[in-house]
Amino acid sequence: MQYRIVGKTGLNVSSLALGTDNFADPTPESEASKILDLAISEGVNLIDTGDVYADGEGEKIIGRTIKKLKKRDQVLIATKIDHGKRRPGYSIDDPSLFGPNDHGHSRLNIIRACENSLKRLQTDYIDIYQLHRPSPNIHVDEILGAMTDLVKQGKVRYIGTSTHPTWMVLELVMRSKLNGYSRITFEQPPYNLLDRRIENELIPMCSKHGIGLITWAPMAMGVLAGRYETHDEYPDNSRALLRGGFYADRVTRKGIEVGLEFTKIAQSCNLTPAQLSILWTKDQEGITAPLIGPRTLEQLKDLLQVSDMSLDEEIKLKCDNLVPEGSVVADFHNTADWMKTKISN
């Protein structure tokens, strides 16, 4: 396993990070625990989750498994506080369950959410605590003040953001420098061959200011893993089929066309398309690590083979010819209100 130092920190992160959005939905705990055990044994040291993944059950599975394995000191646990009207354990379909202070990145909610995540994860501290999408109506000082206090209390080691626009990440960095708040260390954006927009501004800015980039959706929800042959029928157990909504909106005709050509490139270099999609993301300039989100132990075994591979320059150029640098054919920022560009199916 390769390791990379994150920005201006001394933190070493594995070149593949484990995403756990599938834990409990649909991956059962028995399989999820095996995935965690193998990933850690193979050198993966960053485990990513969020307080709303499977309504908090994802964090609970991680907490129970890590405690059972007695490997807390071998991993970095990253979790997030959600921005929307959602609380772990409660349906988002019933607005009567939510009061005016039950969501968003206010000081009240940040501290409360952190305490709840600590309990679910069965740990005394969170290695990386991230803001899950922006809360544009809450002042930066309110947000950074609360996050800094959590760091000072020893409950959080590093802070970060997820799916924030470049200007907002930079504002957080500058405000931290001016007012002595804890510094943003990570940003977690979507990034794959179908949506390369972060190459325009976010990657250069993070590289310049020493911010790590842990990216999600490297396989483009299976489109770059060879799962889609047509836009008219979603594969069994795909997120587009199981969850619908904005997940389905990320699957476009042009994206599938690219995915089919991408599969041919993967076959030409004796890789599965899933492996090549991870390798392509891992070896892009400025990327700390992509999140791999296997649903099964066999999928994890397949993806781990990429950890010590390097992307051939000829293959990189072939991929660039499919989707040029900085461009987009499928919208993986479609849950970000600040992203105005819309990609039609």
CATH number of the domain residue 207 falls in: 3.20.20.100
Closest CA to 110 of 94, 96, 95, 126: 126
Contact 77, 126 (CB under 8 A): yes
* 177 domain-assigned: yes
Residue 246 forms part of a structural domain: no
Contacts of residue 323, defined as CB under 8 A and 6 or more positions apart, other chains included, come to 193, 194, 196, 258, 329
Quick one: pLDDT at residue 335? 80
Residue 264 lies in a domain: no
Residues paired with residue 126 on neighbouring β-strands, in sequence order = 156
pLDDT for 144: 98
Residue 17: per-residue pLDDT = 98
The closest alpha carbon to 273, from 228, 232, 314, 234, belongs to: 228
Judge whether 103 lies within some domain: yes
pLDDT of 237 reads 72
DSSP letter string, 16-34:
SEEE-TTBTTTB-HHHHHH
In a domain, 158, yes or no: yes
Tokens of 336: 């970000």
Distance CA 258, CA 224 (A): 8
Structural domains in the chain (count): 1
Helix (H) or strand (E) holding 69: helix 57-69
Is residue 235 included in any domain, yes or no? no
What does DSSP say about strands 289-292 and 17-19: parallel, antiparallel, or unpaired?
A: parallel
Expressed as residue numbers, the domain containing 15 is: 3-221+281-311
What is the predicted pLDDT for the residue at 86?
57
Kindly state the tokens that stand for 313: 């320059």
Asked if residue 26 has a cis previous peptide bond (ω within 30° of 0), the answer is: yes
Ranges in the chain, pLDDT < 70: 84-98, 240-242, 345
CA atoms of 123 and 270, how far apart (whole Å): 42
Q: Given this model, what pLDDT does residue 145 score? A: 98
Tell me, yes or no, whether 253 lies in a domain.
Answer: no
> Mean pLDDT score of the chain, rounded to an integer?
92
Residue 131 · residue 168 · CB < 8 Å? no
Q: What are phi and psi of 274, to 5 degrees?
A: -60, -45
Residue 160, H or E segment: strand 156-162
Residue 130's pLDDT is 97
Closest by CA position to 158, among listed 39, 5, 22: 5
Stated as kind and residue range, the H or E segment containing 129 is strand 126-132
Look at residue 298 and tell me if it is in a domain.
yes
